[in-house]
Amino acid sequence: MSLYQDGAPVGFLVQKIVLDEAELIQILVDPLYCNQGLATSALKYWHRALLKLGVCQVFLEVRQSNAPAVALYQRFGYHTVGVRKNYYHYGNDLVDAWVMSLSLVPCAEPSK
């Protein structure tokens, strides 16, 4: 999914969907257009589209030290479900990633 501002491409969102689960592979906004709500709008649109496709669970990985991204995902209700040690190369260092998850709709309860 491409992100546009005044008709010009300024970012994108990459996803993977398998059955009723989706993964946010990457969301990127041109630094010149950051802090204008584009990522927020993109996630709202994406979540609505996923619901229409029957997706109920979303996953993503985010660098623990990426405070703006972590805050964005937490505002949407994502919570940390795991850690991938030394997952990202950041500068000369290896840094951990948080695996985060969001339930879009309650998944069906198993039969008793």
Residue 111 lies in a domain: no
69 lies in a domain?
Answer: yes
Give the residue from 105, 47, 107, 34 showing the smallest Cα distance to 73.
47
Residue 39 lies in a domain: yes
Q: Distance between CA 27 and CA 11 in Å, rounded?
A: 8
Neighbour count for residue 43 (Cβ, 10 Å): 20
Q: Which of 4, 73, 90, 109 is an active site residue?
A: 73
37: amino acid identity, one letter: G
d(CA 71, CA 48): 20
What CATH number should be reported for the domain holding residue 77? 3.40.630.30
Task: Give the separation between CA 39 and CA 11, rounded to whole angstroms.
Answer: 9
Does residue 109 form part of some domain?
Answer: no
109 catalytic, yes or no?
no
pTM given for the model: 0.85
Q: What is the pLDDT of residue 112?
A: 47
Mean pLDDT by 10-residue block, N- to C-terminus, for the chain (112 residues)?
84 94 94 88 92 94 93 96 93 93 74 48
| Residue 73 bears catalytic tag | yes
Please report which helix (H) or strand (E) contains residue 53, including its range.
none
Q: Which domain holds residue 10?
A: 2-103
The confidence score (pLDDT) of residue 6 equals 83
Q: Where are the alpha helices (DSSP H) in 1-112?
A: 38-52, 67-75
Annotated catalytic residue, options 23, 33, 45, 61: 61
Q: Tally the domains of the chain.
A: 1
